[in-house]
Homo-oligomer: A and B are copies of this chain.
Amino acid sequence: MDQVLALLRAGGGRVTSSRRILLEVLFDADGHLTAEELAEAVQARAPDIHLSTIYRNLDELQRLGVVLHSHLGHGPATYQLAANAHAHFICEGCGAVVEAPVRLFSGLARSVKSDLGFVIDPRHFAILGRCSACAQESRRHRP
């Protein structure tokens, strides 16, 4: 947290209360928060902080590599600390978000690298599919 503030200052940025509070919220949260949810949490402590400020601060924190966002399914993006980053699977049946360690992707990463020369970043977009409950469900309907 203090490291992040120092990083901000090092880049010519200022430490403002909106940034401090946003970082506190991010450190407390478990990831998967949308900009709107973050704004709500921040506004619980400082009601005048505007949603657009949240977006601008999230952008800045992403530029610094502190935060990253992922697209889980179709809705708004969710933001999380880069240090806590993981991959996401979203169930198209029930909308459940399943977290997965990036390690699961190492095999894919290797073959994509050798076949296509492409270096993947599995954290940015979720992979869709069906969770175990919904997969069984659809197997029952269409066996």
**Secondary structure call for the A interface:** mixed
- Indicate if the CB atoms of B129 and A118 lie closer than 8 Å: yes
Asked whether any CB of chain B lies closer than 8 Å to the CB of A115, the reply is yes
- Indicate if the CB atoms of B128 and A116 lie closer than 8 Å: no
- Indicate if the CB atoms of A117 and B132 lie closer than 8 Å: yes
Q: Given the complex, which residues of B lie within 8 Å of A135, measured CB to CB?
A: 117-119
- Indicate if the CB atoms of A120 and B89 lie closer than 8 Å: yes
The answer for the CA separation of A115 and B98 in the assembled complex, in Å, is 11
The answer for the CA separation of A115 and B89 in the assembled complex, in Å, is 12
Beyond A104-B108, A104-B111, A112-B89, whether A128 also contacts B117 by CB under 8 A is: no
List chain A positions with a Cβ less than 8 A from chain B: 71, 74, 89, 91-92, 98, 100, 104-105, 107-108, 111-112, 115-122, 124-132, 135
